[in-house]
Amino acid sequence: QKEVEQDPGPLSVPEGAIVSLNCTYSNSAFQYFMWYRQYSRKGPELLMYTYSSGNKEDGRFTAQVDKSSKYISLFIRDSQPSDSATYLCAMSAGNTPLVFGKGTRLSVIA
């Protein structure tokens, strides 16, 4: 079993839809959870950072962490064509290298 599993998609949604992106993980030591957005051939850009369980909201983005289920989610409300990118989940146990999911490719169609 891989340490971090992420559905690669691709995921295609109409503009204005709510998008749900998910990752599961196996290492119970993970405490720091991040979502990165990567446009084609660009560097990953940090979107959301969450420590331990709970929700965090930033504009149209909401990150959720359920440590009991080892499951994290990113929700995008009112999705826009500019949200079309690959979304990578990442996590660490603290002062350890990040472990990334393989990324989910999202297309938002106008």
Partner 1 sequence: DSGVTQTPKHLITATGQRVTLRCSPRSGDLSVYWYQQSLDQGLQFLIQYYNGEERAKGNILERFSAQQFPDLHSELNLSSLELGDSALYFCASSDAGDTQYFGPGTRLTVL
**Contact residue for partner 1 among 101, 104, 106, 108 (CB under 8 A):** 101
Q: Shortest Cβ distance from residue 97 to partner 1 (Å)?
A: 5
Element (H, E) at 17: none
Binding of residue 34 to partner 1 (CB under 8 A): yes
Stretch that binds partner 1, among 11-19, 56-64, 71-79, 89-97 (CB under 8 A): 89-97
Stretch that binds partner 1, among 21-29, 54-62, 74-82, 87-95 (CB under 8 A): 87-95
**Contact residue for partner 1 among 41, 59, 82, 110 (CB under 8 A):** 41
| C-alpha to C-alpha distance for 18 and 33, rounded to whole angstroms | 21
Residue 78 region by backbone torsions, left for phi larger than 0, else alpha for psi between -120 and 50, else beta: left
Binding of residue 94 to partner 1 (CB under 8 A): yes
Other CB atoms within 10 A of residue 53 CB:
14
CB 35 within 8 A of CB 74: yes
